[in-house]
Amino acid sequence: MNPLSVDVRQILIDNAVPSALIFIASEPDKPNTVMTIYDTPGEPPNPKWLLDTPSCQIRSRSKSYATAYSNLLNARDILLGKDKVTVNSTKYIGFFAEGDIMSLQRDDEDRHILVINFRIVREPSTGNNRQAAI
């Protein structure tokens, strides 16, 4: 099973967000306009259920506040409107925003930084109980 951030990136790319705009876990200094997806703590997994509820944060950066906001709004709408989908052999059941878009601050290059957090429900495996990856 991939990190959540990898699969979320793929969902955004599959919905016409340019792949060159989206980074995972580490934000480059250039270009000025980027989105970066970070894996964040979700709910603890319950060994009784074959469901996980990981979370991620999508961070948008741009010289233009409107561009940073628009890029994040597009990502939010893609995920909130998403039906059940399988990505890289993992079944995703639901996408839930944990609040709305929030402006953090400007960085050292005077670029706007905005974020949104998601809780996501996914089915990591099939069978009667969890299987350790070997």
Q: Provide the Cα torsion 21, 25, 28, 32; round to 10°.
A: 40
What the block records as the tokens of 99 is 């609040």
What confidence tens digit (pLDDT) does each residue in 22-70 have?
A: 999 999 999 999 999 999 999 988 777 788 999 999 999 999 999 999 9
What confidence tens digit (pLDDT) does each residue in 81-118 have?
A: 898 999 988 999 999 999 999 999 999 999 999 999 99
Whether domain 4-123 has CATH 3.30.2000.30: yes
Domain assignments of the chain as residue spans, ordered by start: 4-123
DSSP state of 43: P
pLDDT-derived band at 124, boundaries 50, 70, 90: confident
